[in-house]
Amino acid sequence: VSRFEGITMAPPDPILGVSEAFKADTDERKLNLGVGAYRTEELQPYVLKVVKKAENLMLERGENKEYLPIEGLVAFNKATAELLFGADNPVIKQQRVATVQGLSGTGSLRLAAALIERYFPGAKVLISSPTWGNHKNIFNDARVPWSEYRYYDPKTVGLDFEGMIADIKDAPEGSFILLHGCAHNPTGIDPTPEQWEKIADVIQKKNHIPFFDVAYQGFASGSLDADAGSVRLFAARGMELLVAQSYSKNLGLYAERIGAINVVCSTADAATRVKSQLKRLARPMYSNPPVHGAKIVANIVSDPALFNEWKAEMEMMAGRIKNVRQKLYDSLSAKDKSGKDWSFILKQIGMFSFTGLSKTQSENMTNKWHVYMTKDGRISLAGLNLAKCEDLADAIVDSYH
Ligand SMILES: Cc1ncc(COP(=O)(O)O)c(CN[C@@H](CCC(=O)O)C(=O)O)c1O
């Protein structure tokens, strides 16, 4: 008797499944605005020049393939925490950050979820509505209960700030509040600095624990420091917090699976104990992380010339997306005679634009126009170029009305 016979087919992933459908499409007009992965103006994947330089250096040096420690490459963990908080930040100076290299952002979030499940039984994680498609899967599979806080307001195509604050205030004391550090996915709508202050106030007042997901540091605005502003604001208040990091987008290391989980504690001793427990959770999960991506990051950040080159390439990538955003807005404004205000596209930041297209309308974009996007109406501008903006505008105007 077959023991696997009863296993049913899993549905395609709402985000990564879009790329599979795109690949199967033979129409040359097809456009993949699904997965949040940077493409050049020629719509090709992009390996940063500075990454190739670092890899050549590593090849020349000759590197062994010894196991990393469970917590990852020590030089990477130091570099990634300093990139996030700033090397002279008191949390770094006082050694209050427990940093463990994770399998990119997803793996870092999952390791943090395992820590929450083990040490905060019953605690809830509040996630934004909407949020990145995989957040719910991560907490469900880690058996961490979650609920949503209001975030996107379809009426204003902006932030429902009052709703967000009210839901955070109503959450049981000591909840974990999952926040997108910058470039909110899928909406592209970020709180203003003043709103971040108020969010920190309500979290502090309720003894909640801020849990940042920072997947786009430097990629949203082009500045590593600006994009870390929200995290540094909370750290400056002396709050304990968690931050998951990813180098998929800002360094183009998607498939290298390099990221980190950082836990800011009240004392260095607590940080040491938290790190030891993160290691205990990682060992049976994947034992120890891959070395290549960690070395690329560590080599780039530790060499001033390479670090400056990286910053310039990040500005170039962020700049290209800003140009595409502007051109799409111009095309939509010119083509849509309904008088609809498309300016929300210019106000959004980062890789995505939340178009407001419904599920059915998004499906029309794919079925009729061969534009691949997620069913929540999100388009990845990183998959668009100036030449295709007019066609995309035609598709959106047609699907919208
Ligand atoms: C907010 C957020 N957190 C974490 C991640 C995880 O990325 P890692 O590669 O694991 O570091 C992503 C990537 N989201 C993109 C990429 C595709 C995906 O993983 O869903 C997206 O939303 O298209 C993200 O947008």
pLDDT at 25: 96
pLDDT digits (tens, 9 = 90+) for 293-352: 999 999 999 999 999 999 999 999 999 999 999 999 999 999 999 999 999 999 999 999
Ligand 1 centroid – CA 267 distance (Å):
31
pLDDT average, residue stretch 211-230:
96
Ligand 1 centroid – CA 132 distance (Å):
7
Ligand 1 centroid – CA 69 distance (Å):
25
Q: Is the CB of 217 under 6 A from ligand 1?
A: no
Contacts of 184 (CB under 8 A, 6+ apart): 128, 151, 190, 350
**Residue having the nearest C-alpha atom to atom 2 of ligand 1:** 215
Looking from the CA of residue 13, the nearest atom of ligand 1 is 20
Q: Is the CB of 259 under 6 A from ligand 1?
A: yes
Q: What is the 3-state secondary structure (H, E, C) of the chain?
A: CCCCCCCCCCCCCCCHHHHHHHHHCCCCCCEECCCCCCECCCCCECCCHHHHHHHHHHHHHCCCCCCCCCCCCHHHHHHHHHHHHCCCCHHHHCCCEEEEEEEHHHHHHHHHHHHHHHHCCCCCEEEEECCCCCHHHHHHHCCCCEEEEECEECCCCEECHHHHHHHHHHCCCCCEEEEECCCCCCCCCCCCHHHHHHHHHHHHHCCCEEEEEECCCCCCCCCHHHHCHHHHHHHHCCCCEEEEEECCCCCCCHHHCEEEEEEECCCHHHHHHHHHHHHHHHHHHHCCCCCHHHHHHHHHHHCHHHHHHHHHHHHHHHHHHHHHHHHHHHHHHHHCCCCCCCCHHHHCCCCEEECCCCHHHHHHHHHHHCEECCCCCEEEHHHCCHHHHHHHHHHHHHHHC
pLDDT digits (tens, 9 = 90+) for 242-282: 999 999 999 999 999 999 999 999 999 999 999 999 999 99
Ligand 1 centroid – CA 334 distance (Å):
33
* Ligand 1 site-directed mutation target among 33, 248, 379, most atoms within 8 Å of CB: 248
**Residue having the nearest C-alpha atom to atom 5 of ligand 1:** 105
Per DSSP bridges, beta strands 371-372 and 31-32 are: parallel
pLDDT at 187: 96
Token pair of 341 as six digits: 């205000």
**Residue having the nearest C-alpha atom to atom 23 of ligand 1:** 36
What residue has token string 């929540």?
Answer: 376
Confidence of residue 401 (pLDDT cuts 50, 70, 90): confident
pTM, entire model: 0.97
Q: Environment class of residue 334 by beta-carbon count within 10 Å: exposed (0-12), middle (13-18) or buried (19+)? A: exposed
pLDDT average, residue stretch 125-134:
97
**Residue having the nearest C-alpha atom to atom 11 of ligand 1:** 105
For the chain, report the end-to-end CA distance as a whole number of angstroms. Answer: 54
Give CA torsion, residues 69, 75, 252, 51, to 10 deg.
-120
pLDDT digits (tens, 9 = 90+) for 140-169: 999 999 999 999 999 989 999 999 999 999
Q: Is the CB of 175 under 6 A from ligand 1?
A: no
Kindly state the percentage of the chain with pLDDT values over 90. Answer: 98
Token pair of 84 as six digits: 């996030």
Q: Is the CB of 132 under 6 A from ligand 1?
A: yes
Contact 301, 307 (CB under 8 A): yes
Ligand 1 centroid – CA 191 distance (Å):
20
pLDDT at 256: 98
Ligand 1 centroid – CA 215 distance (Å):
7
**Residue having the nearest C-alpha atom to atom 7 of ligand 1:** 105
Q: Is the CB of 379 under 6 A from ligand 1?
A: no
Q: Is the CB of 213 under 6 A from ligand 1?
A: yes
Asked whether the predicted pLDDT for residue 381 surpasses 90, the reply is: yes
Q: Is the CB of 350 under 6 A from ligand 1?
A: no
Q: Give the residue numbers marked as catalytic.
A: 132, 213, 249
Looking from the CA of residue 15, the nearest atom of ligand 1 is 20
Q: Is the CB of 167 under 6 A from ligand 1?
A: no
Cis bond upstream, residue 130 (ω within 30): yes
pLDDT digits (tens, 9 = 90+) for 174-218: 999 999 999 999 999 999 999 999 999 999 999 999 999 999 999
Residue type, 259: G
Ligand 1 centroid – CA 116 distance (Å):
21
Ligand 1 centroid – CA 210 distance (Å):
19
* Ligand 1 site-directed mutation target among 246, 321, 351, most atoms within 8 Å of CB: 246
pLDDT digits (tens, 9 = 90+) for 69-107: 999 999 999 999 999 999 999 999 999 999 999 999 999
Asked whether the predicted pLDDT for residue 63 surpasses 90, the reply is: no
CB atoms within 10 A of CB 326: 14
pLDDT at 217: 98
Q: Is the CB of 106 under 6 A from ligand 1?
A: yes
Q: Is the CB of 36 under 6 A from ligand 1?
A: yes
Confidence of residue 1 (pLDDT cuts 50, 70, 90): confident
Q: Is the ipTM of this complex over 0.90?
A: yes
Confidence of residue 108 (pLDDT cuts 50, 70, 90): very high
Q: Is the CB of 293 under 6 A from ligand 1?
A: no
Q: Environment class of residue 193 by beta-carbon count within 10 Å: exposed (0-12), middle (13-18) or buried (19+)? A: exposed
Confidence of residue 290 (pLDDT cuts 50, 70, 90): very high
